[in-house]
Homo-oligomer: A and B are copies of this chain.
Amino acid sequence: MKKGLLLVISGPSGAGKGTICKRLLETDEHIKVSVSATTRLPRIGEVEAENYFFIDKNKFLEMKDNNEFLEHAKVYDNYYGTPRQFVIDNINRGDDVLLEIDIDGALQIKDRFEDAVFVFILPPSLKELKNRIVSRGTESKHDIDKRFSLAQGEIRQVIKYDYAVLNDDLVKAIDDIKAIITAEKCKVMRVYEDIKKLI
């Protein structure tokens, strides 16, 4: 059986990565979402091991010291991290793991999990990106400008990723990501051990 992949997905807010990831999970039962560990308390309705692994700060710091996170961050007073073992268990089972994460997190993973595949979701244009940010309608002009300027800076980081998927058509974008998963699994470096058994 072929091992699964760790697929790291980033992109500026408004590029539509959330929708893409949701749709990917719905359409393929062998794609699993990565579950983070956090020290923050569960909110009502949140389920252990589904929304998060809820752990205390001592446990988090111990795991961090043991290099058990593929990436981690502190947001205000809470820690968040991606447990390595969860990813490894799934890919060994042949499932692919989807990890939607910001660019800082993605770059940490690059150093710690060399087989991961890095995909950057692009908006069709800056104009459309601004439209999408504005149409959320929840933010002030100042916040919109700030978010837009941040997004432009983020797009420049695409060079650090393996693939760029343009999200001007949701169905096409999802097909592109599925093709990336299929193609990556044909890479000689991933299947060479299997081929050696053939000969």
- Listed in ascending order, the chain A residues whose CB lies under 8 Å from chain B are 119-120, 122, 125-126, 152, 155-156, 158-159, 161-165, 175-176, 178-180, 182-184, 186-188, 191-192, 195, 198-199
Contact = CB atoms under 8 A, between A and B. Distances in A.
A192 B152 contact: no
B120 A199 contact: no
Main SS at interface, chain A: helix
A157 to B, nearest CB: 10
A107 to B, nearest CB: 14
* Count of identical protomers in the assembly: 2
A103 to B, nearest CB: 14
A198 B125 contact: yes
A163 B184 CA distance: 8
A184 B176 CA distance: 10
B179 A164 contact: no
Given A126-B199, A176-B182, 20 more contacts: A122-B195, A122-B198, A155-B195, A155-B199, A156-B199, A159-B188, A163-B183, A163-B186, A163-B188, A164-B191, A164-B192, A164-B195, A165-B186, A175-B182, A176-B186, A178-B179, A179-B183, A180-B183, A182-B183, A183-B183
